[in-house]
Amino acid sequence: MNLTLAVKQYISKMIENSGPGMKVLLMDKETTSIVSVVYTQSEILQKEVYLFERIDSQNRDSMKHLKAICFLRPTKENVEHLIQELRKPKYSVYFIYFSNVISKSEIKALAEADEQEVVAEVQEFYGDFIAVNPHLFSLNLQGVARGRSWEPTMLSRCTQGLTSVLLALKKCPMIRYQLSSDMSKRLAETVKVSMTTTLPLTHILCRCVLQWTYQAMVHELLGLNNNRIDLSRVPGINKDLREVVLSAEHDEFYANNLYMNFGEIGTNIKNLMEDFQKKKPKGQQKLESISDMKAFVDNYPQFKKMSGTVSKHVTVVGELSRLVAERQLMEVSEVEQELACQNDHSNAQQNVRRLLQNPRVAELDAIRLVMLYALRYERHSSSILPSLMDELSRRGVSERYRRMVQSVVEYGGKRIRGSDLISPTDAVAITKQFFKGFKGVENVYTQHQPLLHDTLDQLIKGRLKDSQFPYLGPSSLRDRKLPGKSYLHFLEEVMSATGHSGGSDRAQGSSRHSNRR
């Protein structure tokens, strides 16, 4: 179940099918992102692909010595661009691959446009998603909902993306969805239309609180788009580091630290720096002999690569540390964790009010605190939610953001959710983890475990309630009882989160799943 490998194999197969010779890779906006996340430009160049073009570009030159590999989403716009391309072909031959299912009528339209018979092949390769990590994918969608209902175009794209994932992994699943979520149910139904049900399982739910792990923090605080981070606004940033790539496929340090807590990252950055210092060529190193020169040249590429890795991660972690201090996120995080894990209303209302009155706390952090309070103490007899909303108004928080508090209660409040969103924890059992690895970072609270953690645990043990997560599919399979051990042997889950994905929930689920297996 390796998504990165699945997409890479598709792309490799496209290139192999075109045979030897110089090639151009013709893509659209979305497939450009899909390819760039799993392959570097240098890797593609090694496969005789020397040119990368967009199908919607109007200024492409005619190059009849090149073969064209077209990797496109099967949208009406792309089909129309391709029809225009085939009527006046710029390349010698075309190998056409769609990232999802294309209709027969569109295939017919392409065939009619191919009057010069330049099309050698048309296939469907199901890489219609961005493989962020081997076990995490994204569709880069924003604004998927209208209230508590799907935006129609977004529902269609999510269905296509999730179906593509299942096809790429060669899985034909049983589907379970979160009963309390209308959006989850609707997505489950649309996916089911094109799927027959067998033992692998797709589990559709809505996700909640983020944890403080490396990938999740980068995504939340800096923005992670197709594994790229824009650091151009960082004070005093080196021009070579204005945009950096964080890819687990090509960056060993990042791969090893994806799900590490921030304090642990500090320790590992220190170790990386120390290792770099040991391997760094001495400034006064003498190159007196041919063997000295040869040794330097042999070691230089490795040193240069390591130097880039060190600079990149020191810069990223340094900026994260600056933002944590500037926005007082340690203090904010402590109160968030107390809201999520404890049941002390008196202390909670004091802490939330205190932070709302702190001008250094960012607007979105303040909104998030009030949201957590609203979910936690929604029906508490002494709830001070109206007072907290007034506090947000005094801070100058826009009405648009203030409305989000009520929206999140309507979306995931007590009346809607089918299980406890926040599980109370014995105060004696709650511990605050102390990290010493990074100067200036004293602690990060990681008491809260996402609801997904317990949901997966129940799923693996065969105890997940049908009343909360019903099946879609034939009753013969739904009623089939699986022994616990057998369940562990062949059950695989494809988790689909409707909404934002930050990575750390997936880390929690992956950790528990791997431990159980």
Which residues in 147-217 belong to E strands, given as ranges? 149-150, 174-177, 201-205
pTM of the model: 0.61
Closest to 453 in 3D by CA, of 444, 445, 461? 461
Top mean-pLDDT range of 157-171, 401-415, 463-477: 157-171
Q: Report the SS3 class of residue 185.
A: helix
Mean pLDDT of the 478-488 span? 43
Asked if the model's pLDDT at residue 182 lies above 90, the reply is no
Top mean-pLDDT range of 116-125, 238-247, 306-315, 486-495: 116-125
The tokens for 347 are: 């202390």
Q: What are phi and psi of 361, to 5 degrees?
A: -75, 125
Query: What does the DSSP 8-state code read for residue 234?
Result: S
Question: What is the per-residue pLDDT across 73-128, written as a single tens digit (0 to 9) for each?
Answer: 999 999 999 999 999 999 999 999 999 999 999 999 999 999 999 999 999 999 99
Residue-level pLDDT at 479: 53
Q: Are 439 and 445 in contact (CB under 8 A)?
A: no
Residue-level pLDDT at 489: 31
Mean pLDDT of the 349-376 span? 91
* Average model confidence (pLDDT) across the chain: 79
Residue-level pLDDT at 4: 93
Asked if the model's pLDDT at residue 39 lies above 60, the reply is yes
- More confident call, 101 vs 423: 101
Residue-level pLDDT at 141: 87
In the chain, pLDDT over 90 holds for what percent of residues? Answer: 35
Residue-level pLDDT at 93: 96
Q: Are 247 and 290 in contact (CB under 8 A)?
A: no
Q: Are 191 and 167 in contact (CB under 8 A)?
A: no
The tokens for 243 are: 């945009």
Q: Which structural domains are found in the chain, ordered by start? A: 3-128 (3.40.50.2060), 158-207+450-517 (3.40.50.1910), 214-281+291-326 (3.90.830.10), 329-429 (1.25.40)
Asked if the model's pLDDT at residue 508 lies above 80, the reply is no
Mean pLDDT of the 372-395 span? 90
